[in-house]
């Protein structure tokens, strides 16, 4: 993957051994989101499936919303760290972040039969911690806002992969 802001290769495609349910390209049962740079903002379009429903069949489940906000934000922090270091995604030494905390405010329901768009920005960047703000839009309206504290973890965190 290139670090060019106009590149159309997803962050996740440059993340070796990523089996995460939300963002892992190698998890056949997962959500397999794809995130890209659009200037200094990262963007992801997620198309919910019928089985991602909440109690009402026409509404996206809140846990799925939290998962895609979390994963999009973590992948954004990783991509940002590579970009700041002027390196290709996945190049050695590998950069990885894990969720330190996740806070989601649900504003209104997201339709399950329409794509949702996630937009994230870096709110704070420190050597071992990045705070990402992410909003999820459904049909152009903000339906959820998340703040994710992303903690940089060592390569050994992947022991067993």
Residue from 128, 122, 111, 126 nearest 147 by CA: 122
Low-confidence ranges of the chain (pLDDT < 50): 1-6
Does the CA dihedral 21-146-81-11 come out positive or negative?
positive
Q: Give the pLDDT of residue 3.
A: 41
pTM: predicted TM-score of the whole model, two decimal places: 0.92
Q: Give the pLDDT of residue 5.
A: 43
Q: Give the pLDDT of residue 160.
A: 53
Architecture of domain 11-158: Roll (3.10)
Question: Hey, what's the torsion of the CAs at 71, 72, 78, 84, to 10 degrees?
Answer: -160
Question: Hey, what's the torsion of the CAs at 112, 21, 131, 158, to 10 degrees?
Answer: -170
Contact assessment for residue 67 and residue 118, using Cβ atoms and an 8 Å cutoff: no
């Amino acid at each position: 993957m290139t670090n060019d802001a106009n590149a159309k290769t997803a962050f996740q495609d440059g993340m070796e051994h990523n089996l995460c349910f939300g963002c892992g390209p190698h998890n056949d049962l997962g959500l397999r989101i794809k995130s890209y740079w659009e200037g200094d903002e990262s963007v992801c379009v997620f198309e919910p499936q019928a089985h991602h429903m909440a109690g009402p069949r026409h509404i996206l489940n809140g846990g799925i919303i939290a998962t895609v906000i979390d994963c999009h934000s973590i992948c954004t922090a990783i991509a940002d760290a590579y970009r700041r270091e002027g390196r290709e995604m996945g190049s050695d030494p590998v950069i990885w972040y894990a969720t330190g905390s996740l806070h989601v405010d649900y504003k209104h329901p997201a339709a399950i039969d329409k794509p949702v768009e996630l937009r994230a920005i870096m709110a704070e960047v420190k050597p071992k911690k990045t705070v990402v703000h992410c909003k999820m839009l459904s049909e152009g309206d903000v339906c959820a806002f998340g703040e994710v504290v992303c903690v940089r973890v060592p390569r050994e965190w992947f022991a067993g992969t």
